[in-house]
Structure 1
Amino acid sequence: MTVEVIVNNLGVRYGEHHALQHIDFKLSGPKIYGLLGRNGAGKTSLLSILSSFRSQTEGMLTINGEEPFENAKVMSLVNFIYSKDYKEESENAKNLLKDVERYRANFDRDYADTLLKKFNLPVNKPLKKFSKGMQSAFDVVAGLASRAPITIFDEAYQGMDAPTREIFYREVLEDQAHHPRIIILSTHLVSEMDYLFDEVLILHEGKLLLQEEYESFITKGASITGETDEVDDFVRGLELKQLSVQQLGGTKSVMVFGELSEAKQKEAQQRGLEMGPVSLQDLFIHLTGEDV
């Protein structure tokens, strides 16, 4: 099923606080979107609107041309997986998945059973007796097996150990290959999850800083390292944003962001400067730093 999300001048206020301001973007086609932002950037507010948990204060968000809030047809297209409190949940995993299946038209019970085994989850044990990591794994099972046209994982890995997170990442990629849809991964584990993303959205202080294809985005970052005078002279002629500067003795390294022409790359080589890539995590950290 083809699904399109259009966000136009979206805003959310809590009293006098603007959680989101003038947000514009579009999600279309089956992709894995990485939603990044520091604490308080507005990620949860945005996802809550997309998931029909609340409505916006201003602007518009539509899914296939319709607003999702209190719209049962649209709400059924979205599955929002977030950290839940199961301390009072006496039902077991098997029965809870039956409840999920009842409301998810694309739910694949065989796949859910396969995932329960991969995550080594006891099907007849009450969820309140699961560890936090096991509860998160159960949420992931419900999200992946739902195969909702828009599947959102908001910090879904909480409590999972590294091997369990790796199973989650592998299943996201494999199931997306066979059952493509819009998947949104909201995360702070940028360096661990960046290879999953087709496209990146960064929120900063309630505004959309950028939306760009992952591969295109990371090619815009570069570190330039060499003798201090050579680096200073080279960088002085660039109309690019400087993200960070490090110096050790007579060696200096400058991180820049923007399009670096082939001529400039050749010039750097001729000057004996070393140019290196910059990770998504480093770009995210510096683009959302205090000087932004």
Structure 2
Amino acid sequence: MEHRDNMAVRVFSLTSLAMIAFAGNSLLCRAALQDTTIDAASFTSIRMISGALVLWLLIQLRNGEAVGRGSWLSALALFVYAAGFSYAYLSLGAGTGALLLFGAVQATMIGYGLWQGERFTAVQVMGLLLALSGLAGLLLPGMSAPPLSGAVLMLAAGCAWGVYSLRGRGAGDPTRVTAGNFMRAAPLALLLSIVTMSQANLDIAGVAYAIASGALASGVGYAIWYTSLPMLKATSAATVQLSVPVIASVGGILLLGEALTLRLVLASIAILGGIALVIWQKR
């Protein structure tokens, strides 16, 4: 009984840390692009490079025989996610960005399931329609609507991350695969920085935020998540990620001074609630 309790505490602690790390990516990126002079391309490059280095070090420390190398197609999806994520946060708040990102990721993966022949129950259809209505309500024109360009970029980033997640299924040891993809995505990010060299700008605080995003929130965060995943049921693993936009929203309000609007609250309830219905009803 004591062993079971200790395992439950371990799973809860690891999962909570992983979700905080995922939300931390939104907060660090938004803080860097709002409060420092670093440009989005440089932030992306530093994040990818620092993430690749930390993941490589973790693999060396493990020194295991697990297989997995990543691929250029997955690295391209990872790069599109990271670049779209950074540029979107030039105009989006942390909570709004995380909500759009998470909604797009889940929509991509749910859409893939439908394309593969999965059939939805009536409750799942209701959940999908509820989530879509929440997204539409969030993006409708109005004073509290997020900038359209930022919203489109974040939705694209979410779709790319959904593709990346789908491609990672069964690709081998998750940490090794992620490290391989980060190492391949880093040159793509550097190429973006070269192309946008005229807009490049660095400062100490911005670089520190980018390193923290890549090394801690991404590298260490993914490693923690993959450690906890085998101990979670599939449904629980999908559902617990519903907490990420909430954590990011609270962090944005407390740490970045962002406003909590009624539109965001209602959209969050509709989008996250709708996705929860789809996940929980999934056989």
TM-score range, shorter chain: under 0.3
More strand by share: 1
Higher relative contact order (CA 8 A, sep 6+): 2
* TM-score (normalizing by structure 2): 0.24
* TM-score (normalizing by structure 1): 0.24
Q: Name the larger-Rg structure.
A: 1
